[in-house]
Amino acid sequence: MSPSTALPLILVVDDYADAREMYAEYLEYSGFRTAQAKNGVEALEQAFSLSPDVILMDLSLPVMDGWEATRRLKKDARTKDIPVVALTGHALEGHSESAREAGCDAFLAKPCLPDDLVAHVKKILEGPRRAATARRPRGRKG
Contacts of 71 (CB under 8 A, 6+ apart): 102, 103
Out of 3, 62, 127, 137, the only residue in the binding site for another protein (CB under 8 A) is 137
With vertex at residue 39, the alpha carbon angle to CA 130 and CA 134, rounded to the nearest 5 degrees, is 30
Q: Which amino acid is at 52?
A: P
Task: Rule CB under 8 A: choose which of 5, 6, 18, 129 binds another protein.
Answer: 18
Which among 61, 51, 48, 54 has a CA at the least distance from the CA of 19? Answer: 61
Contact 47, 72 (CB under 8 A): no
Stretch of residues binding another protein (CB under 8 A), selected from 5-13, 16-24, 47-55, 124-132: 16-24
Select the residue interacting with another protein from 63, 113, 119, 131 (CB under 8 A): 113
Closest to another protein by CB, 8 vs 114, is 114
**9, 10, 12, 23: which one binds another protein (CB under 8 A):** 23
Residue 93 found at the interface with another protein (CB under 8 A): yes
Closer residue to another protein, CB minimum distance, 63 or 113? 113
Do 73 and 49 meet the contact criterion of CB atoms below 8 Å apart? no
Q: How far apart are CA 142 and CA 140, in angstroms?
A: 6
* 122 forms part of the interface with another protein (CB under 8 A): no
Contact residues for another protein (CB under 8 A)? 16, 18-19, 22-23, 25-26, 29, 60, 88-93, 110-115, 136-142
